[in-house]
Each structure stands twice: as C-alpha cells, then as structure tokens.
Chains A and B, each alone.
Chain A
C-alpha cells in the first residue's frame, strides 16, 4: 500500500495526520508524511537480503531500491520490547530506513504534539518527536530519524561492501563506532 503524501501544511492548519501502529502490544504514532509505503512482511521475501551484524541486532535485512540500500529495523528490538511477530513494513520517506511493525491500528489527526518531558533524558530523546494525547490516551510519536544514527548507517553501508573489496581493505569486519 502506497501512502499518499499529505498536502503541504498551511499556517491555519496545525493538525497532522498520524498512523497509529503496534509493536509488542505497545502503541506508537508516526507522521503519515514520513511513511512512503506500507507493505506486508511476506512481500519482502525474495527482495530483501540478510545482514548479520551482532553489533547491530535490530537490523537483519536490507532492501535494495535502485542504488539505495534501505535498512529494515526491527522496531521491537530498537525499543527494547519483547520480540514479536511483525506483519508489516513501513518504508519511510526521505530516509533509508524501513520499520518492522506488528500491526497498523488506525490513522488519526494529531492536534497537539507535546515535547517529551525533560525528565526523560536518555536515548529516548532521540527516539521520539514528543507525545500526543488522543482519546484520553498518551501516545509517543516516533522520530523517523531516531532509528538509525549516521554512524549506524555508515557501519551498515560498510558491511555491504562486496567481500572482494572488503578483503582488500581490511581483514576484519567493520566496527560500530561507540
């Protein structure tokens, strides 16, 4: 399913369309403008290649789109949730990341995004754009750029280098920068 890009925001309209999705029972939201495509996991069979990097266990597959490599992030592993059986893949827009999620809950309109309280002061500040309240429920709104850091992209890109090239460069595998 291809998700149509929403019209450009006007100053009068401060609402935002979001997709609510579940991972290991936890509800999250993502801006629909950030999602280019929703596919079933089954449809990836044959078009994705495996990556086995113990240092980055949340990425196990890569999709080749033209000359770009899209890394498939296991969202449950990323958030430290129990690993669940993902059924869908969100291919993100403008970023080389795709997300494995369990299910899509619904689409909704977000009228207010509250910044993550400052008490949250660790990695989660990069994970979320903020929190929103919908129907008396608080839902974290994920930051599409928070799933993989530039260093992790570089690490994954390096791991895709064909073996012959990689062997001539070094005898060891790439190391994830700390």
Chain B
C-alpha cells in the first residue's frame, strides 16, 4: 500500500475492482492479504464464496464486485480484510480486489438519500470522485442499525 497524509482529513483505503476504484474507511481495514486457498461448503447466502484461513482465523470471502460492477471479477490479486459491524460484534470479511490498494487522506461528503445503501459517502482524489463503501450494507448479515431498531419491536400480548 502507498501512503499519503493530509491534516484534518480522514484516512481511506482505495481499492480497485476491475476498472473502477472504491474507498473504505481506513479504520475498518485490517490488512491486505495475498490470495490464499478458498474453502467452499454448501450454504444459501448470496455473495459469499467460501472462507479463507488467515492467521488461524476463519474469514468469509465476500465478492462485492457483482453488486458494484454488475459482474464478478475475472482476475483478483489480493484480499482486503476489513471489519464488518454486526448487531452485537464486529467480524472480519475478506473482499477480493483486483489491484494494489492505496492509503489516502481525504474529506468525505456524506451520502444523500438518493445514493444506494452501500454508499457511505464520496471523496475526491486526483480529480476522480470515488464512492466510499458502507460494508455493513454491502455484505450479507444483519446490520448494526437493526440493534437500534430492535427495541422498537412490539411484542404481541398474550393471555
């Protein structure tokens, strides 16, 4: 990864999927890992390819290219391992990416109501406007927002 810094701005990791670039908040990124063997087993959750073994931990591999590009990645070079927030805990997910990642500093503009749920915001870098990804929305599983709403669930009274 290459580094850049800019006082007052947030840090983001730029990742490449095919010809497009996306960003993820650097605080969510754990590491960029070399390709390793994927272990597959039967399941019914879309987007999940299988799991990889990373430092003794089992990490699910989630192909987000289909959602972001409309097609799967033809070639992949690395796994970006990022933290995904769930209702009660955080867990790692591995995102296949095409090229090297870059750490940059930038100011984020928040997402608007018209943006897709997977867009956390936008950053501008080298004249390019780049989507900042909301991994909690982009990857399968419950979302932390469900925790906030869980107290709102009404329970039917029974005699």
Contacts and interface: CB of A to CB of B under 8 A. Distances in A.
Interface of A: 26, 28, 79-81, 114, 117-124, 127, 131, 133, 136-140
Given A79-B42, A124-B45, A138-B51, A119 B139 contact: yes
A118 B53 contact: no
A117 B62 CA distance: 11
A1 B124 CA distance: 67
B91 A119 contact: yes
Q: Name the interface size band of chain B.
A: 20 to 34
Contacts of A137: 39
Chain A CB within 10 A, most for which of B56, B60, B89: B60
7 contacts: A81-B42, A114-B58, A118-B86, A119-B141, A123-B44, A127-B43, A133-B56
A138 B77 CA distance: 22
Given A114-B58, A117-B60, A26 B91 contact: no
Contact of B142 (A114, A118, A139): A118
Contacts of B53: 133, 136, 138
Interface in B99-143: 139-142
B143 to A, nearest CB: 11
B48 A120 contact: yes
B56 A119 contact: no
Given A131-B51, A133-B53, A136-B53, A121 B45 contact: yes
A73 B43 CA distance: 17
Chain B CB within 10 A, most for which of A26, A117, A121, A140: A117
A73 to B, nearest CB: 14
Nearest to B44: A122
Contact of A119 (B41, B42, B140): B140
Interface of B: 39, 41-45, 48, 51, 53, 56-60, 62, 84, 86, 89, 91, 93, 139-142
Given A121-B140, A124-B44, A137-B39, 12 more contacts: A80-B44, A114-B58, A117-B58, A119-B60, A121-B45, A121-B142, A123-B43, A127-B43, A131-B51, A131-B58, A138-B39, A138-B58
Nearest to A128: B41
A117 B142 contact: no
Contacts of B42: 26, 79-81, 124, 127, 140
B39 A120 contact: no
B133 to A, nearest CB: 15
Nearest to B139: A119
Nearest to A112: B56
A119 B142 contact: no
Contact of B59 (A79, A117, A124, A140): A117
Contact of B41 (A26, A114, A121, A136): A26
A52 B2 CA distance: 62
A136 B126 CA distance: 42
